[in-house]
């Protein structure tokens, strides 16, 4: 009996020793271990199924904790408008993200997910978030320090919802305003775009001193993974057609479209998204030379490369026509994480078979997973995988709204101010008997925010989120005895017969995103032109254009006494009134050339046929006059 007891005790001690030894060897769970040691240890423990799961990013609409657990999913996302519920609170978002995270943590190895969202001008999908001006407006500020602050605020508002990954910034160099994504570009000039990559340390934090070039960095729980996009040449497509072909020689590519990627990589950007477009007829999602050869090998980018939404489906001329080929071409080109938002099992099965058949080498899979794990370790995701409610107060905070208002003020470009310099119309007097505010965009929060706001294509109306319309801002600013009359589209007789002191007309483009924004005519939608003609034909007026790009304005320019390009200012319309009424001066400069007619396009500064209505960099200035 004693011998049996001794044997049992010995067996128990042996089991304890084995367990302790195994625990000691879980180096990937030990934050004190060197980064590469943790990556190598975890990678060596992973099955092919677990590795492929890390390479998959799916939309929340098809996800659950069980799905994340079963397929070892590495990442989730919310596409435009994909929300937990209408008008979801920060707490609702956190609870959803954490539920998916718990599915990941309950897998054999417990590798946490990160969750991505298109936070392209603030955390713009989320109800009551601060909506900053779109990138074209930020380009007009010429103020990298301001853009960095916007990155910091956006990171806090993204983290406030439990999300760790922002698909921003877009560092496209839009060379043709007919492109539906032109407002996502800071400028036609790569130097302005390069300067605005300062948003990356705002989002991610400053990389540590002496950090090797190309190594990704995310500085803790108040920062997010940034994503430079869309690699490369997305802003140069023929006639500005979205997802089309960019025809350019190597010198042009490296001197116009590539420079902002150099800055992004130096600043430690953690991910780079591939463009839907082609380069000289080669689909970027299948471009091994530029993704692996140039980006990874020459530029030494050590973060991960992610596809766009269903990006590998579009490698074939007819989307999804030969999916096995598309998987092979995309992964072998160097894509590490694939956004397969809906049909993820088809991708997983296809990739698994290609690896088993040696059509894709396991070394390529290991490279992809190593890059994804590096970012997860660097950002501390293994130590802090679950979000708490400590940052919910950051969503739409007063401080962030004040920052957005400042950005609006600095983004406004004054194109015309009176018939001559001696008789400026702006700044407008706050004290006036009666003023007219007109136009489709004067009292529409959704219109002034543009696409990528609450929903993918944007929205119309004032109950969509929190903010201040331009009409409300005008009423907030003028003297209490000034009568403000709002009429969306008055006729000329009405304008002439009401004895207005002056009028403010606010018109522009309707919201759009991506291909739906492609336009060959760039005209202001009806009844905008009639509103300008009727109002400005009857009383002295300032016209404020709300648009993602220059639009046709030359036919109305003689009628308009003062003209302001306000771009897509976002939720804080008070910034427009701040400058119109002289509390602050105009300081913005055109980030893009303003054409005379669309027949001139494409036309960019430096072109031999350059003959603009307003040149790149143009912008009249006014002095603030607080006594008005």
* The two structure tokens encoding residue 393: 């107060």
Half-sphere exposure of 400 (CA within 13 A, CB side): 28
Catalytic residue among 118, 152, 394, 514: 514
CA pair distance 457, 410, nearest whole angstrom: 26
Q: Contact, 487 vs 438, CB < 8 A?
A: yes
Q: Active site includes 578?
A: no
Which residues are registered as beta bridge partners of 620? 414
Is 514 part of the annotated catalytic residue set? yes
Nearest to 256 by CA among 617, 605, 611, 590: 605
Task: Measure the CA dihedral 91/93/99/104, to 10°.
Answer: -130
Query: Is there a contact between 447 and 441 (Cβ–Cβ < 8 Å)?
Result: yes
For the chain, the first-to-last Cα distance in angstroms comes to 102
Instruction: Find how far residue 458's CA is from the centre of its chain.
Output: 14
Report which of 61, 62, 165, 57 is spatially closest to residue 117, judged by C-alpha positions: 165
Among 444, 443, 440, 447, CA closest to 484: 443
Do the Cβ atoms of 104 and 98 come closer than 8 Å? no
CA distance 150 to 145: 9
The set of long-range contacts for 296-299, using a CB threshold of 8 Å and a minimum separation of 24, is 296/334, 299/214, 299/261, 299/262, 299/265
- Tell me the β-bridge partners of 562: 417, 542
Burial, 424: exposed, middle or buried (Cβ in 10 Å; 0-12, 13-18, 19+)? middle
139: phi then psi, degrees, rounded to nearest 5: -60, -35
- Which of 59, 152, 243, 308 is catalytic? The answer is 308
Alpha helices (runs of H) in 78-143, residue ranges in sequence order: 90-105, 135-141
Peptide bond just before 232 cis, omega within 30 deg: yes
Q: Which residues, at least 6 apart from 606, have a Cβ–Cβ distance to it below 8 Å?
A: none
Distance CA 58, CA 45 (A): 24
Would you name the residues annotated as active-site residues? 308, 514
């Amino acid at each position: 009996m004693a011998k049996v007891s001794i044997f049992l005790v010995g067996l128990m001690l042996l089991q304890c020793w084995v367990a302790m030894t195994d625990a000691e060897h879980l180096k990937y769970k030990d934050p004190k271990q060197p980064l590469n040691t943790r990556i190598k240890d975890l990678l060596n423990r992973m099955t092919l199924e677990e590795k492929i799961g890390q390479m998959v990013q799916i939309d929340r609409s098809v996800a659950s904790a069980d799905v994340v657990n079963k397929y070892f999913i590495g990442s989730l996302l919310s596409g435009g408008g994909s929300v937990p519920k209408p008008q979801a609170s920060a707490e609702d978002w956190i609870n959803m993200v954490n539920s998916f995270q718990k599915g990941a943590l309950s897998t054999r190895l417990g590798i946490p997910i990160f969750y991505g969202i298109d936070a392209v001008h603030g955390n713009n999908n989320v109800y009551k978030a601060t909506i900053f001006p779109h990138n074209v407006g930020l380009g007009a500020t010429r103020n990298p320090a301001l853009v960095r602050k916007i990155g910091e605020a956006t990171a806090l508002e993204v983290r406030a919802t439990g999300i760790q990954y922002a698909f921003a910034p877009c560092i496209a160099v839009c060379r043709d305003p007919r492109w539906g994504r032109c407002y996502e570009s800071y400028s036609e000039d790569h130097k302005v775009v390069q300067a605005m990559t300062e948003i990356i340390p705002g989002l991610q934090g400053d990389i540590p001193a002496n950090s090797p070039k190309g190594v990704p960095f995310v500085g803790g729980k108040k920062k997010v993974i940034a994503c430079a996009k869309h690699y490369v040449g997305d802003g140069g497509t023929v006639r500005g057609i979205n997802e089309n072909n960019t025809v350019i020689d190597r010198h042009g590519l490296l001197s116009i479209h590539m420079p902002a990627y150099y800055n992004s990589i130096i600043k430690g950007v953690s991910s780079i998204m591939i463009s839907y477009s082609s380069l000289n007829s080669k689909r970027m999602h299948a471009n091994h030379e530029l993704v692996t050869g140039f980006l990874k090998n020459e530029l030494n980018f050590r973060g991960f490369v992610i596809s766009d939404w269903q990006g590998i489906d579009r490698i074939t001329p007819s989307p999804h026509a030969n999916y096995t080929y598309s998987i092979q071409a995309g992964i072998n080109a160097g894509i590490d994480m694939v956004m397969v938002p809906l049909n993820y099992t088809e991708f997983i099965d296809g990739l698994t078979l290609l690896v088993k058949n040696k059509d894709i080498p396991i070394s390529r899979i290991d490279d992809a997973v190593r890059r994804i794990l590096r970012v997860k370790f660097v950002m501390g995701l293994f130590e802090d995988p679950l979000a708490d409610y400590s940052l919910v107060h950051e969503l739409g905070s007063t401080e962030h709204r004040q920052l957005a208002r400042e950005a609006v003020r600095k983004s406004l470009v004054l194109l015309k101010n009176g018939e001559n310099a001696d008789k400026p119309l702006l700044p407008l007097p706050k004290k006036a008997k009666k003023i007219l505010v007109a136009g489709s965009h004067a009292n529409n929060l959704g219109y002034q925010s543009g696409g990528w706001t609450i929903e993918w294509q944007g929205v119309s109306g004032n109950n969509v989120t929190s903010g201040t319309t331009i009409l409300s801002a005008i009423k907030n600013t003028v003297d209490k005895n000034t009568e403000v009359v709002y009429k969306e589209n008055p006729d000329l007789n009405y304008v002439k017969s009401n004895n207005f002191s002056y009028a403010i007309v606010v018109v522009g483009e309707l919201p759009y995103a991506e291909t739906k924004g492609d336009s060959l005519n760039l005209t202001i939608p009806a009844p905008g032109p009639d509103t300008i003609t009727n109002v400005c034909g009857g009383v002295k007026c300032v016209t404020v254009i709300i648009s993602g790009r220059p639009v046709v304005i030359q036919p109305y320019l003689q009628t308009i006494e003062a003209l302001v390009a306000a771009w897509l200012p976002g939720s804080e319309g008070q910034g427009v009134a701040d400058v119109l009424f002289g509390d602050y001066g105009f300081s913005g400069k055109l980030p893009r050339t303003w054409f005379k007619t669309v027949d001139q396009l494409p036309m960019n500064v430096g072109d031999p046929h350059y003959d603009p209505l307003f040149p790149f960099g143009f912008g009249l200035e006014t002095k603030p006059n607080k006594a008005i």
